[in-house]
Amino acid sequence: MKTLLLTLCLSLAPLSAPLAETLHFVTEEYAPFNYTKDGKLTGIAVDQIEVIAKAAGIDYTMEIMPWARAFATAESQPKTCVFTTGYNRERADRFLWVNPLLKDEMVLLKRKDGSKGPTTIKDALSLKAGSQRGDFAVEALEEMGFKDIDLAADIDISVRKLLSARIDLMPTSIKTYENLVKQGQPVEKAMLMAGQIYGLACQKDTPPDLVKRLQAELDTLIENGEQDRIFTAYGLPPNTRTAENGAKK
Protein backbone atom coordinates (compact mmCIF):
# COMPACT_ATOMS: atom_id res chain seq x y z
CA MET A 1 0.00 0.00 0.00
CA LYS A 2 2.83 2.43 0.89
CA THR A 3 4.46 1.65 -2.45
CA LEU A 4 1.17 2.34 -4.27
CA LEU A 5 0.66 5.67 -2.46
CA LEU A 6 4.24 6.76 -3.20
CA THR A 7 3.76 5.89 -6.87
CA LEU A 8 0.53 7.93 -7.01
CA CYS A 9 2.17 10.93 -5.33
CA LEU A 10 5.09 10.89 -7.76
CA SER A 11 2.78 10.60 -10.75
CA LEU A 12 0.60 13.52 -9.57
CA ALA A 13 3.50 15.80 -8.58
CA PRO A 14 4.09 17.25 -12.09
CA LEU A 15 0.39 18.17 -12.29
CA SER A 16 0.60 20.28 -9.14
CA ALA A 17 3.85 22.06 -10.09
CA PRO A 18 3.38 25.69 -11.20
CA LEU A 19 3.39 26.19 -14.95
CA ALA A 20 6.08 28.49 -16.33
CA GLU A 21 4.52 31.76 -17.50
CA THR A 22 5.40 32.96 -20.98
CA LEU A 23 5.21 36.56 -22.13
CA HIS A 24 4.58 37.35 -25.78
CA PHE A 25 6.49 40.37 -27.09
CA VAL A 26 5.26 41.97 -30.33
CA THR A 27 6.86 44.76 -32.32
CA GLU A 28 7.27 46.27 -35.79
CA GLU A 29 10.04 46.82 -38.32
CA TYR A 30 11.55 50.08 -37.05
CA ALA A 31 15.33 50.18 -37.29
CA PRO A 32 17.51 50.59 -35.33
CA PHE A 33 15.26 49.71 -32.38
CA ASN A 34 13.46 46.60 -33.64
CA TYR A 35 14.00 45.04 -37.06
CA THR A 36 14.81 41.86 -38.94
CA LYS A 37 18.36 41.14 -40.06
CA ASP A 38 19.36 37.86 -41.72
CA GLY A 39 16.05 36.36 -40.62
CA LYS A 40 16.57 37.27 -36.96
CA LEU A 41 14.98 39.96 -34.82
CA THR A 42 17.54 42.46 -33.59
CA GLY A 43 17.87 46.09 -32.58
CA ILE A 44 18.42 48.36 -29.59
CA ALA A 45 15.05 47.61 -27.96
CA VAL A 46 15.15 43.91 -28.89
CA ASP A 47 18.55 43.49 -27.24
CA GLN A 48 17.36 45.20 -24.06
CA ILE A 49 14.22 43.09 -23.78
CA GLU A 50 16.09 39.86 -24.38
CA VAL A 51 18.58 40.75 -21.63
CA ILE A 52 16.01 41.78 -19.03
CA ALA A 53 13.64 38.87 -19.75
CA LYS A 54 16.44 36.34 -19.35
CA ALA A 55 17.76 38.06 -16.21
CA ALA A 56 14.23 38.01 -14.75
CA GLY A 57 13.88 34.30 -15.54
CA ILE A 58 10.87 34.88 -17.80
CA ASP A 59 10.13 32.69 -20.81
CA TYR A 60 9.07 34.69 -23.86
CA THR A 61 8.28 34.69 -27.55
CA MET A 62 8.94 37.60 -29.91
CA GLU A 63 7.10 38.39 -33.13
CA ILE A 64 7.22 41.20 -35.67
CA MET A 65 4.08 42.54 -37.38
CA PRO A 66 2.56 45.85 -38.61
CA TRP A 67 2.41 48.37 -35.77
CA ALA A 68 -1.39 48.79 -35.64
CA ARG A 69 -1.84 45.03 -35.30
CA ALA A 70 0.94 44.74 -32.70
CA PHE A 71 -0.55 47.54 -30.60
CA ALA A 72 -4.08 46.10 -30.76
CA THR A 73 -2.81 42.61 -29.91
CA ALA A 74 -0.96 43.87 -26.83
CA GLU A 75 -4.00 45.78 -25.66
CA SER A 76 -6.36 42.79 -25.96
CA GLN A 77 -4.30 39.63 -25.32
CA PRO A 78 -3.15 38.76 -21.76
CA LYS A 79 0.60 38.34 -21.19
CA THR A 80 1.32 40.28 -24.39
CA CYS A 81 3.56 43.37 -24.53
CA VAL A 82 4.28 45.75 -27.42
CA PHE A 83 7.44 47.80 -28.00
CA THR A 84 8.99 50.29 -28.63
CA THR A 85 5.88 52.18 -27.43
CA GLY A 86 5.59 55.91 -26.85
CA TYR A 87 4.35 56.70 -23.34
CA ASN A 88 1.84 59.49 -22.79
CA ARG A 89 -1.08 60.37 -20.52
CA GLU A 90 -3.67 58.85 -22.81
CA ARG A 91 -1.87 55.49 -22.90
CA ALA A 92 -0.69 55.46 -19.27
CA ASP A 93 -3.67 53.57 -17.84
CA ARG A 94 -4.24 51.33 -20.86
CA PHE A 95 -1.15 49.19 -20.18
CA LEU A 96 1.30 48.08 -17.52
CA TRP A 97 4.60 49.75 -18.38
CA VAL A 98 8.31 48.96 -18.30
CA ASN A 99 10.19 52.25 -18.94
CA PRO A 100 12.40 53.62 -20.41
CA LEU A 101 13.82 51.59 -23.27
CA LEU A 102 14.49 54.93 -24.94
CA LYS A 103 14.37 58.64 -24.08
CA ASP A 104 14.44 60.78 -27.15
CA GLU A 105 13.36 64.02 -28.74
CA MET A 106 10.96 64.00 -31.67
CA VAL A 107 11.59 65.80 -34.93
CA LEU A 108 9.66 66.57 -38.10
CA LEU A 109 11.64 65.46 -41.14
CA LYS A 110 11.57 66.83 -44.66
CA ARG A 111 13.23 65.87 -47.92
CA LYS A 112 16.78 67.14 -48.32
CA ASP A 113 16.11 68.90 -51.59
CA GLY A 114 17.33 72.44 -51.02
CA SER A 115 13.94 73.77 -49.95
CA LYS A 116 13.71 75.92 -46.83
CA GLY A 117 10.91 73.99 -45.16
CA PRO A 118 8.55 75.26 -42.45
CA THR A 119 9.87 77.55 -39.72
CA THR A 120 6.70 77.67 -37.59
CA ILE A 121 3.91 75.26 -36.70
CA LYS A 122 1.55 77.42 -38.77
CA ASP A 123 3.81 76.90 -41.80
CA ALA A 124 3.99 73.16 -41.11
CA LEU A 125 0.20 72.81 -40.90
CA SER A 126 -0.08 73.97 -44.51
CA LEU A 127 1.93 70.90 -45.61
CA LYS A 128 1.06 67.21 -45.89
CA ALA A 129 2.29 65.07 -42.98
CA GLY A 130 2.42 61.30 -42.73
CA SER A 131 3.22 58.60 -40.20
CA GLN A 132 2.55 54.95 -39.33
CA ARG A 133 -0.95 53.75 -38.52
CA GLY A 134 -1.39 53.47 -34.73
CA ASP A 135 1.97 55.12 -34.00
CA PHE A 136 2.38 57.60 -31.14
CA ALA A 137 3.65 60.09 -33.72
CA VAL A 138 0.13 60.31 -35.20
CA GLU A 139 -1.14 61.57 -31.85
CA ALA A 140 1.74 64.04 -31.72
CA LEU A 141 0.77 65.37 -35.16
CA GLU A 142 -2.88 65.66 -34.12
CA GLU A 143 -1.86 67.60 -30.99
CA MET A 144 0.08 70.00 -33.23
CA GLY A 145 -3.09 70.58 -35.28
CA PHE A 146 -2.58 68.37 -38.34
CA LYS A 147 -5.89 67.07 -39.71
CA ASP A 148 -5.48 65.07 -42.90
CA ILE A 149 -2.61 62.75 -41.87
CA ASP A 150 -1.37 60.19 -44.38
CA LEU A 151 -1.11 56.76 -42.72
CA ALA A 152 1.27 53.95 -43.74
CA ALA A 153 1.77 50.39 -42.47
CA ASP A 154 5.40 50.93 -41.42
CA ILE A 155 8.19 53.48 -41.32
CA ASP A 156 9.85 52.28 -44.54
CA ILE A 157 6.68 53.16 -46.46
CA SER A 158 6.49 56.55 -44.73
CA VAL A 159 10.10 57.30 -45.74
CA ARG A 160 9.39 56.29 -49.34
CA LYS A 161 6.35 58.57 -49.40
CA LEU A 162 8.45 61.44 -48.06
CA LEU A 163 11.19 60.95 -50.63
CA SER A 164 8.69 60.65 -53.49
CA ALA A 165 6.90 63.86 -52.39
CA ARG A 166 3.66 62.07 -51.53
CA ILE A 167 4.04 63.67 -48.09
CA ASP A 168 6.06 66.73 -47.06
CA LEU A 169 6.77 65.99 -43.39
CA MET A 170 7.30 62.89 -41.27
CA PRO A 171 7.68 62.79 -37.46
CA THR A 172 10.18 60.45 -35.85
CA SER A 173 12.72 60.33 -33.04
CA ILE A 174 16.07 62.09 -33.25
CA LYS A 175 17.82 58.72 -33.01
CA THR A 176 15.79 57.29 -35.90
CA TYR A 177 16.59 60.40 -37.92
CA GLU A 178 20.31 59.94 -37.19
CA ASN A 179 20.03 56.33 -38.32
CA LEU A 180 18.30 57.33 -41.58
CA VAL A 181 21.10 59.82 -42.31
CA LYS A 182 23.65 57.11 -41.53
CA GLN A 183 21.92 54.92 -44.13
CA GLY A 184 22.31 57.70 -46.71
CA GLN A 185 18.65 58.71 -46.86
CA PRO A 186 18.26 62.30 -48.17
CA VAL A 187 16.25 63.64 -45.23
CA GLU A 188 16.80 66.53 -42.84
CA LYS A 189 15.23 68.15 -39.79
CA ALA A 190 12.40 70.57 -40.46
CA MET A 191 11.67 71.40 -36.79
CA LEU A 192 11.90 69.90 -33.32
CA MET A 193 8.91 68.45 -31.49
CA ALA A 194 8.42 67.53 -27.83
CA GLY A 195 10.61 64.92 -26.13
CA GLN A 196 9.31 61.39 -25.64
CA ILE A 197 9.79 58.29 -23.48
CA TYR A 198 9.40 54.87 -25.10
CA GLY A 199 8.97 51.56 -23.32
CA LEU A 200 7.40 48.13 -23.13
CA ALA A 201 3.59 48.26 -22.83
CA CYS A 202 1.94 45.11 -21.45
CA GLN A 203 -1.73 44.14 -21.49
CA LYS A 204 -3.37 45.16 -18.20
CA ASP A 205 -4.13 41.57 -17.08
CA THR A 206 -0.46 40.59 -17.35
CA PRO A 207 0.71 39.32 -13.91
CA PRO A 208 2.08 42.42 -12.13
CA ASP A 209 4.94 40.37 -10.67
CA LEU A 210 6.30 39.68 -14.17
CA VAL A 211 6.15 43.37 -15.05
CA LYS A 212 7.88 44.34 -11.78
CA ARG A 213 10.66 41.83 -12.44
CA LEU A 214 11.21 43.24 -15.93
CA GLN A 215 11.26 46.80 -14.58
CA ALA A 216 13.78 45.86 -11.89
CA GLU A 217 16.09 44.31 -14.50
CA LEU A 218 15.71 47.31 -16.81
CA ASP A 219 16.62 49.62 -13.91
CA THR A 220 19.74 47.51 -13.36
CA LEU A 221 20.56 47.60 -17.08
CA ILE A 222 20.43 51.40 -17.00
CA GLU A 223 22.35 51.78 -13.74
CA ASN A 224 25.23 49.52 -14.77
CA GLY A 225 25.68 51.29 -18.12
CA GLU A 226 24.65 48.33 -20.27
CA GLN A 227 21.78 50.25 -21.90
CA ASP A 228 24.22 52.92 -23.07
CA ARG A 229 26.59 50.23 -24.35
CA ILE A 230 23.75 48.74 -26.43
CA PHE A 231 23.03 52.13 -28.00
CA THR A 232 26.72 52.63 -28.75
CA ALA A 233 26.98 49.17 -30.33
CA TYR A 234 24.39 50.25 -32.91
CA GLY A 235 26.27 53.45 -33.67
CA LEU A 236 23.96 55.81 -31.79
CA PRO A 237 24.68 58.16 -28.86
CA PRO A 238 24.02 56.75 -25.36
CA ASN A 239 20.50 57.11 -24.02
CA THR A 240 21.75 59.23 -21.11
CA ARG A 241 22.88 62.02 -23.42
CA THR A 242 19.36 62.59 -24.70
CA ALA A 243 17.91 62.41 -21.20
CA GLU A 244 20.36 65.08 -19.99
CA ASN A 245 19.64 67.31 -22.98
CA GLY A 246 15.93 66.92 -22.42
CA ALA A 247 16.27 67.90 -18.78
CA LYS A 248 17.90 71.19 -19.76
CA LYS A 249 15.15 72.27 -22.14
What's the chain's length in residues? 249
Each residue's pLDDT expressed in tens, for the chain with a length of 249 residues: 444 443 434 344 444 334 468 999 999 999 999 999 999 999 999 999 999 999 999 999 999 999 999 999 999 999 999 999 999 888 999 999 999 999 988 999 999 999 888 989 999 999 999 999 988 889 889 989 999 999 999 999 999 999 999 999 999 989 899 999 999 999 999 999 878 899 999 999 999 999 999 999 999 999 999 999 999 999 888 885 443 333 222
What φ, ψ does residue 113 adopt, rounded to 5°? Answer: -130, 15
| 3-class SS of residue 124 | helix
pLDDT of residue 7: 40
Query: Which domains occur in the chain, in start order?
Result: 21-103+197-248 (3.40.190.10), 105-195 (3.40.190.10)
Please tell me the predicted confidence (pLDDT) of residue 111: 97
Q: Hey, what long-range contacts does 218-227 have (CB within 8 A, 24 or more apart)?
A: 218/48, 218/52, 218/98, 218/99, 218/101, 220/55, 221/48, 221/51, 221/52, 226/51, 227/48
